[in-house]
Chains A and B, each alone.
Chain A
Amino acid sequence: MIRPPYRLALLVLATAILAGCVSAPKRQAFNAEANPDIRSIEVLQTRDSEIQTFIVNNPGASFGLIGGLIAEADRASKTNKLQAHLEAASFDHERVLADTLKAALEAEGYEVTMPSPLVESEDDKAKRDAWGLRKVKPSGTTEANALLDINFGFVGYASAGAGDSAPYRPTVMLSARLLDAETGEVLFSEQVLYNNVFNNRDAIIIEPDARFTYPDFDDLDAAGQASAEGMRVAIEAAVLRMAKAL
């Protein structure tokens, strides 16, 4: 259990990261023509992630620590409601990531090995950077030619502000890095953001599907289990865009 002041600090840090205020991992496009030997990919375990709600420019931040704590309590309450709807819809965002990624990479011609379980356990966490990418290449042997580290930076519904002109939309930030399994060379490093609510200037931006627009949280709450569809569309779009680059 993370205590509120620390949660607030983490929230501020998360906002800075998602807006691109924190240096993003250096981009590296994949040179497929120069790497014809990369035919098999082992996907690494992801860090744990949860569906969230988020107001990017939250007026609560105008009132210092007290305002921040109130905003955080409001966010937590909304997140709990959204998570309850998605759970009722049997929606598993990590499963959508895994299934979409495997199918998309296979469609690109790769032999794909998925981790089991997909998410790393609490007592076997890898050291990661602010974007969730591993700081050290995993030890051990693999039959694959390359290792793919892919993680959610944010997954959930977010709005640009608290007013009527800032609707909630499904929002997904994905970071990925492909390493040569033998040499550790970075073959690919990229970020994809579905719905640029954070005004990010580094990630590849995907425009959100207008079908899933909720003017305020009450509308999103009223959508109930239907909110899972917008989430699924967003994750699939982000993963497909990432896979297309490989």
Chain B
Amino acid sequence: MRAMTLLAACALAGCASTGDLSSVRYQPVGQCVDSLADVSAAPVTVVPQDGRGANRPKFVKIHEAATCVREGERARPALLYTLADLPVPTEISVTVEAAGLSRSAETAVFAPSVVILDRDRRALKRYTLNDFDQRGGTYTLVAFLNEEAAREGYLLVEPDAEQVGRTMENRVGVNNSVTVATMYGGFTWVSGDELQRTSHLTDVGRIAVSARAHDARPFEERNRR
């Protein structure tokens, strides 16, 4: 059972290893580049203000979507997004999804370093997991693009080397209900527990980066669906 949980967690995290979650690490796929300057930038997904998709981030697996950057012996994944075509102000959301959440006492969480770069790829501002909000199974960050310099630049997501290997603890209520079938019909036995969960910070996982233009509508109009 534990092996199955670990396997499922690793599959979600996008790693090849089936070992303990604490040891899940990035395995380069394809050729690595030697510098961040050689990483191609992708456009940020712009989400609509309302309707389907407005609150549903589109996740990518880091080990599949990222470019491998090799510096010396160390290889790391890097996701680079161009901010050039976004209006100002724009709300950029970065969401990290914990892997292996289903009633498991252990999860793996990508430890992000999110950097706003200018057009010459120089860092303007950096965010780490400490700047993210925990929301159940995800960690979210919102950064605003208010300046032209940032608008012309890039957003870089890579692992935070200082955090990888650390753990976090949290508590969550879980539903353990089971449906029982009898010859007279079925019923659901409702029960629940408090789970103390350990999250292993790693350099792989699933992440979503999206942009949403500033919405100045009065709230009654905005809430109309």
Is B one of A's binding partners?
A: yes
For B142, list chain A residues within 8 Å (CB).
29
B132-178 interface with A by 8 A CB criterion: 133-138, 142, 144, 146, 169-177
Chain A contacts for B85, CB-based, 8 A: none
Residues of chain A with a CB closer than 8 A to B173's CB: 56-57, 159-161, 166, 196-199
Choose among A31, A61, A196, A207 the residue that contacts B144 (Cβ–Cβ < 8 A).
A31
Within 8 A of A (CB), among B159-201: 169-177, 187-194
Decide: A162 near B144, CB < 8 A? Known: A135-B220, A195-B171, A205-B170.
no
Whether B191 lies near A59 (C-beta < 8 A) is yes
Report the contact-size class of chain B (Cβ under 8 Å from the partner).
35 or more
Stretch of B6-14, B34-42, B64-72, B210-218 at the chain-chain interface: B210-218
Q: Are A208 and B171 in contact (CB under 8 A)?
A: yes
Within 8 Å of chain B (Cβ to Cβ): is A179?
yes
Contacting residues of chain A (16-68) with chain B, CB-CB under 8 angstroms: 20, 25-29, 31, 33-34, 55-62
Q: Which residues of A contact B218 (CB under 8 A)?
A: 137, 183-185
Task: Give the chain A neighbours of B136 by CB distance below 8 A.
Answer: 20, 196, 199-203, 205
Measured CA separation A135–B170 after assembly (Å):
34
* B175 partner residues in chain A, CB cutoff 8 A: 56-57, 199
- Could you say which residues of chain A place their CB within 8 Å of the CB of B176? 57, 161
A-chain residues with CB within 8 Å of residue B193 when the two chains form the complex? 160-161, 163, 165-166
Interface size of A in residues (CB-CB distance below 8 Å): 47
Q: Is A204 an interface residue (CB 8 A)?
A: yes
- Residue A136 interfacial (CB < 8 Å): yes
Which residues of chain A from 221 to 243 have a CB within 8 Å of any chain B CB? none
Q: Whole-angstrom distance from the CB of B40 to the nearest CB of chain A?
A: 29
- Once the chains are docked, how many angstroms separate the CA of A198 from the CA of B172? 8
Tell yes or no: A93 within 8 A of B by CB.
Answer: no
Report the minimum CB–CB distance from B173 to chain A (whole Å): 3
B171–A31 touching, CB < 8 Å: no
Q: Considering the chains assembled together, what is the distance between the CA atoms of A25 and B222 in angstroms?
A: 11
Q: How far is the CA of A161 from the CA of B134 in the complex (A)?
A: 23
- Let me know if A132 is at the binding interface, CB within 8 A: no
Kindly list chain A residues whose C-beta atoms are within 8 Å of the C-beta of B171.
Answer: 195-196, 207-208
Which residue from chain B places its CB closest to the CB of A26 in the assembled complex?
A: B55
Query: Which residues of B sit under 8 angstroms from A58, Cβ to Cβ?
Result: 190
Q: Are A199 and B219 touching (Cβ within 8 A)?
A: no
Question: When each residue 201-213 of chain B gets 1 if its CB lies under 8 Å from chain A and 0 otherwise, what string results?
Answer: 0000000000000
Determine the distance from Cα of A33 to Cα of B90 in the docked complex, in whole angstroms.
Answer: 12
| B89 proximal to A (CB < 8 A) | yes
- Is B91 part of the binding interface, using a Cβ–Cβ cutoff of 8 Å? yes
- Tell me the nearest residue of chain A to B216, going by C-beta: A185
Say if the beta carbon of B54 comes within 8 Å of chain A. Answer: yes
Interface pair B192/A56, CB less than 8 Å apart = yes
Using CB atoms, name the residue of chain A closest to B170: A207
Report whether A62 and B187 are in contact in the complex, using a CB–CB cutoff of 8 Å: yes
Which parts of B55-87 form the interface with A (CB within 8 Å)?
Answer: 55
20 A-B pairs (CB sep. < 8 Å): A29-B144, A31-B146, A56-B175, A57-B173, A57-B190, A62-B188, A62-B189, A136-B220, A159-B194, A160-B174, A161-B176, A161-B191, A163-B193, A165-B193, A166-B173, A196-B170, A196-B173, A197-B194, A201-B137, A204-B133
Binding site for B on A (CB under 8 A): 20, 25-29, 31, 33-34, 55-62, 135-137, 159-163, 165-167, 177, 179, 183-186, 195-205, 207-208
Report which B residues bind A (CB closer than 8 A): 54-55, 89, 91, 133-138, 142, 144, 146, 169-177, 187-194, 214-220, 222-223
